[in-house]
Structure formats: structure tokens, C-alpha cells
Amino acid sequence: MHRTTAGRRPGFTLVELLVVIGIILVVAALALLLIPRFQDKQKASLGADKVQQHLLTAKMTALRDRRPSGIRLVVGADGYARTLQYIQLPDDFKGGTLAPDPNNPNQVVIQDPTGVTDVTGGLAEQPLWPVQPGDYLFLNGGSTPYLITGVNAGNVLQVQPSPWTNGVPPAPTVNYSIARSPRPMAGIEDVQLPQDVVVDFTVYPLTGAPRSLMQPETRPDGSLAYDILFAPDGSVLRRAGASGKIVLWIRDVSRDDAEPGHQTLITVFTRTGLIAAQLVDTGSPNPYSFTADPRASGL
């Protein structure tokens, strides 16, 4: 009988293995060199995508909660915003009896013997108090807003202008409300843009106009609040929504200012809430030309 031997698959030689390992090492080395450069070139686009996504999330939050919600752009002294905060508009503050201070025409006190109404919310940290400077007091269903400039423990509020009429303090009333300004949403961390990527509020040197086009609100301390607050129907509220659109200029500040590929415009159409991304039109006297038509991205 003849014994048949099973066919054997020849193995790799040592030289072949070394060649394969060498190729893998070369490819890995090239990847380590090229991927960071590719990512560096994409930083501005990634930052613009991040801003657009968080604006859309804030818009969806307003629809879900049936409460005005949005994004606050934290702008530094250099005119750059590197941080985004989720914000929401709380309900009006009410309760107890509002009485004038007979010795101070710009001060009122909320009286509540039960202790239920407390402008501090029983919290030690003033930034967490339910009533904050910058909120507005309305009396007896009137339309005159009294700006709250200071809040003290003991339910004492400083207001401007004085609610006194011809030197006569108003009568105590339970018919009052405090319209509170948007607050950062509790439990949600601030959003940081990629390194060197900013929302730029400085002046564009070729036109002398601000890069990011939106109407900020002035806080009692004189600083500006760059808030984009969506209503449940998607439209933009408050002063930022007074214009037809908000344009945010996102760019990589480590790159040349003339490079179009490292800057993007995010446009929010304030009446519809549409959020679009467009290129900066560096070849035109109007760098915002692509934002004229919400259907044209320029990308």
C-alpha cells in the first residue's frame, strides 16, 4: 500500500515576516505624522460642527421642555468665545407681599411670615439664588420694568428706577412678579471648543465690521451677554432675535486670517430657527454673502 501524504501549506519564511513587519512599521509611522496634520487642518470645521450641533440641541431642548432654552457664548476680553453654556429661562418669581422700604426709595422687601418665599432659595452661594441682579420687577400688572441691581439676604432688593411716585412709596402688594433672566442649566457642563478654535467677535480687518453679527444684551455690571435663546417654536427670543439672522464667525486663530478653509460662518435665522453653515466669502467685499440665502451653504 502507498501512504498518501496530506498536502502541506508552505509557511512564511523569516525574511517574508520581516518584510511585512517593516511595511507595517512604515505605514504606522506615516500615519503618526500625517493624521495630526490632517486633524489640525480640520480643527475649524470640527469647531463649527460642534457649535452647530449644540445650537440644534438647545433648540430641541426648548421644544422638548416647552421652555425657552439656548446657548450662551462666554466672550473673553480678547473678543473670543471659547466656551458655550446651555441656558434656560426660568419661570417668574412670585410669592409673599412686596413692600417698599420707607427709608430707601430704591429698595423693596418681600415679606412672608411663613418663610416660604425666599430670594436666596436657602442657598449660601449667591450665584445660585433664584433672584439675581439683572432680573426685572413688575408691579401690579404694569409694564414698567424695574431693574434689580442688588439682592440681599432677608428678601431685600435694590431696584432702578425708584418705584416711588412723586416721592410717595407704593402700597404693599401681592400683585408683583420678577421676570428672571436666562440661567445656566444645572448639571450640564460647559462646552469647550477645540484648541485655537474660537467664535470671533473682533473686527474683520478687510471691512472694519464685527465678524460675528448678533445683538448682545447689557448686564447690570456693564458686561455683554451673548445669548441665543430659542422659543419652543424654534424662533430666537429677546434682543438677539430682533434681527433677521445671527452670524457666528468660527475660525482657527493659529492660522492666517486670509485662509478661507480655516473659518466658517454659522448662521441662525431668527424667525424660523434654521441653523446653517457657510464659508466666509473671502473673494467678495461682503464676507457674509453666502448667508443671504438660507439654502446656499457655500460649502
What amino acid is encoded at 87 in this protein?
A: I
Q: What architecture does CATH give domain 42-89+185-291?
A: 3-Layer(bab) Sandwich (3.55)
pLDDT value at position 38?
45
Question: Given pLDDT bands bounded at 50, 70 and 90, which one contains residue 217?
Answer: confident
pTM for the model stands at 0.80
Strand 136-139 and strand 224-230: the pairing is unpaired
pLDDT value at position 281?
86
Question: Given pLDDT bands bounded at 50, 70 and 90, which one contains residue 34?
Answer: low
- In angstroms, the CA 90 to CA 136 distance is 13
Q: What is the CA radius of gyration of the chain?
A: 29
* DSSP at 236: B
pLDDT value at position 258?
66
The 10s digit of each residue's pLDDT in 256-268 is 776 666 889 999 9
The 10s digit of each residue's pLDDT in 93-130 is 999 999 999 999 999 999 999 989 999 999 998 888 99
DSSP 152-174: ETTTEEEEES---BTTBPPPPBS
Q: What is the mean pLDDT of the chain?
A: 87
Tell whether the model's pLDDT for residue 131 goes beyond 70.
yes
pLDDT value at position 64?
96
Length of the chain: 299
pLDDT value at position 266?
96
In sequence order, the 6+-apart residues with CB closer than 8 A to the CB of 102 are 169
The 10s digit of each residue's pLDDT in 230-251 is 999 999 999 999 989 999 999 9
- In angstroms, the CA 22 to CA 238 distance is 63
Tell whether the model's pLDDT for residue 287 goes beyond 80.
yes
Tell whether the model's pLDDT for residue 87 goes beyond 80.
yes
